[in-house]
């Protein structure tokens, strides 16, 4: 198992490097020249101090200085990439990249990217964990219930509802829920993180926060219900048709024991894949929801950074999404091994 995990980790690293290169190249397609902008700004500021004739020369010096400072004094994309990673020295011989802990600089907010990203990231992860717990709590019992009573009224109803659920895009469900729960019923606030100007602390503050997060959470959970329930149901049906179930029933085991200890363990394997994959999926799903409900999360930040062309932030967040997704694949593989002994043997 250890060796297998190591192998997977190594592979993951390679993919991460390749993807980061692709991302970086795409990012470098954007026509932007920070060194030039900064040099010109500085030039504007001290225009009067320099005699007319020397201005061009002085500007070129300034431009070169900034280029060297930002590491853009070459057109070689590979060198630029390596400098960004931190594996190639700058003009002055220093290394200053991701490996050295320099994650970039947000030009829009004039802060290191880490400071810009950290709070939204915490918010997003928090809300996604809540949503996962909620969704799993609902879908697993529901899916099992439908599988056991296959063909019943309940099952048929749930089948139709789930198709509707997973056919609708997230933003549509958000619009619908805002309309119903905010405009028509007035149960929840339509957007925001907390009551504006609130000075609550402790439990009261948490309650206020949850009140504001309730609707995004409900929406996010609802969006994932459709696909998840169907999946749980399908794998449970598959598991229930296995021979071991017949044997268990023939032995005279109680139905509860048959379903929960025999069938469920077998149904778990595909579900593990799904749960992890889905947990990753809601990161991009929350992109839309955060935008809808004006939550200060990564999705919101990503959209605003894209709009203001703050690409250092975007690039780092993109890498975060990729890393999360790769991690997810790794977790799926390891979890497979834990849930299904056969996988361990075969690898």
Q: What is the CA angle 82-86-92, rounded to 5?
A: 95
Applying the rule CB under 8 A, the residues between 62 and 121 that interact with another protein are none
Using the rule CB under 8 A, give the single segment among 65-73, 132-140, 196-204, 276-284 that binds another protein. 276-284
Closest CA to 145 of 136, 137, 134, 154: 154
Q: Which is nearer to another protein, 175 or 253 (CB)?
A: 175
Q: Which is nearer to another protein, 58 or 325 (CB)?
A: 325
| Beta strand ranges found along the chain (DSSP E) | 105-106, 111-112
Using the rule CB under 8 A, give the single segment among 50-58, 62-70, 264-272, 309-317 that binds another protein. 309-317
Q: How far is the CB of 303 from another protein (least distance, A)?
A: 6
Closest CA to 285 of 218, 220, 231, 229: 220
Site string for another protein, 13-32 (x = CB under 8 A): --x--xx---x--xx-xxxx
Applying the rule CB under 8 A, the residues between 166 and 225 that interact with another protein are 166-172, 175-176, 178-179, 182-184, 190-191
d(CA 73, CA 66): 9
Q: Is 280 in the site for another protein (CB under 8 A)?
A: yes
Among 9, 129, 309, 338, interactor with another protein by CB under 8 A: 309
Closest CA to 118 of 301, 311, 309: 301
Using the rule CB under 8 A, give the single segment among 12-20, 61-69, 90-98, 258-266 that binds another protein. 12-20
Q: Decide if 319 contacts 217 (C-beta within 8 A).
A: no
Q: Is 138 in the site for another protein (CB under 8 A)?
A: no
Instruction: List, as one string, the DSSP characters of 42-89.
Output: HHHHTGGGS-GGGHHHHHHHHHHHHHHHHT-S---HHHHHHHHHT-S-
Using the rule CB under 8 A, give the single segment among 37-45, 60-68, 130-138, 324-332 that binds another protein. 324-332
Q: How far is the CB of 337 from another protein (least distance, A)?
A: 18
Tell me the torsion sign for CA atoms 156, 162, 163, 164. Answer: positive
- Under DSSP, the state recorded for 184 is I
Among 109, 329, 331, 335, interactor with another protein by CB under 8 A: 329
Using the rule CB under 8 A, give the single segment among 11-19, 113-121, 196-204, 261-269 that binds another protein. 11-19
d(CA 302, CA 120): 10
What would you measure as the largest C-alpha separation in the chain, in angstroms?
100
Q: Which is nearer to another protein, 25 or 204 (CB)?
A: 25
Q: Looking at the DSSP assignment, which residues form a beta bridge with residue 67?
A: none
- Assign 96 to helix, strand or coil: coil
d(CA 56, CA 231): 67
Count of positions on this chain that bind another protein (CB under 8 A): 54
- Assign 105 to helix, strand or coil: strand
Tokens 């017949």, residue located? 246
Q: Which is nearer to another protein, 41 or 241 (CB)?
A: 241
Q: How far is the CB of 1 from another protein (least distance, A)?
A: 21
Using the rule CB under 8 A, give the single segment among 82-90, 117-125, 263-271, 299-307 that binds another protein. 299-307
Among 292, 295, 301, 316, interactor with another protein by CB under 8 A: 292
Which residues of the chain form contacts with another protein (CB under 8 A)?
15, 18-19, 23, 26-27, 29-32, 151, 160, 163-164, 166-172, 175-176, 178-179, 182-184, 190-191, 237, 241, 280, 283-285, 287-288, 291-292, 302-303, 306-307, 309, 314, 317-318, 321-322, 324-326, 329
């Amino acid at each position: 198992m250890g060796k297998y995990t190591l192998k997977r980790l190594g592979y993951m690293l390679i993919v991460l490097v390749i993807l980061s290169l692709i991302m970086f190249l795409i990012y470098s397609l954007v026509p932007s020249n920070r060194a030039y902008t900064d040099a010109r700004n500085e030039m504007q500021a001290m225009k009067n101090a320099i005699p007319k004739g020397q201005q061009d020369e002085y500007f070129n010096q300034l431009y070169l200085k900034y280029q060297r400072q930002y590491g853009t004094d070459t057109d070689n994309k590979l060198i630029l990439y390596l400098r960004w990673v931190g594996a190639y020295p700058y003009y002055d011989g220093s290394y200053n990249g991701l490996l050295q802990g320099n994650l970039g600089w947000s030009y829009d907010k004039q802060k290191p990217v880490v400071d810009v990203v950290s709070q939204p990231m915490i918010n997003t992860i928090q809300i996604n964990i809540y949503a996962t717990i909620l969704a799993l709590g609902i879908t697993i019992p529901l899916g099992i219930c439908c599988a056991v009573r296959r063909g019943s009224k309940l099952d048929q109803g749930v089948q139709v509802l789930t198709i509707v659920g997973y056919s609708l895009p997230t933003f549509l469900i958000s619009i619908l829920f805002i309309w119903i729960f905010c405009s028509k019923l007035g149960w929840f606030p339509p957007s925001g993180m907390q009551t504006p100007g609130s000075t609550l602390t402790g439990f009261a503050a948490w309650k206020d926060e949850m009140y504001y997060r309730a609707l995004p959470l409900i929406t996010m959970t609802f969006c994932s219900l459709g696909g998840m329930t169907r999946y749980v149901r399908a794998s449970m049906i598959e598991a229930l048709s296995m021979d071991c179930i017949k044997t268990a029933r023939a032995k005279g085991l109680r139905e509860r024991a048959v379903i929960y200890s025999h069938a469920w363990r077998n149904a778990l394997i595909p579900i593990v894949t799904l749960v992890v994959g889905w947990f990753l999926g809601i990161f991009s799903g929350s992109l839309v929801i955060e935008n809808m409900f004006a939550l200060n999360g990564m999705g919101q930040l990503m959209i605003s950074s894209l709009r203001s062309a703050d690409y250092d932030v975007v690039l780092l967040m993109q890498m975060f999404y990729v890393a999360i997704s790769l991690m997810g694949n790794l977790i799926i593989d390891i979890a497979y091994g834990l849930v299904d002994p056969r996988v361990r043997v075969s690898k």
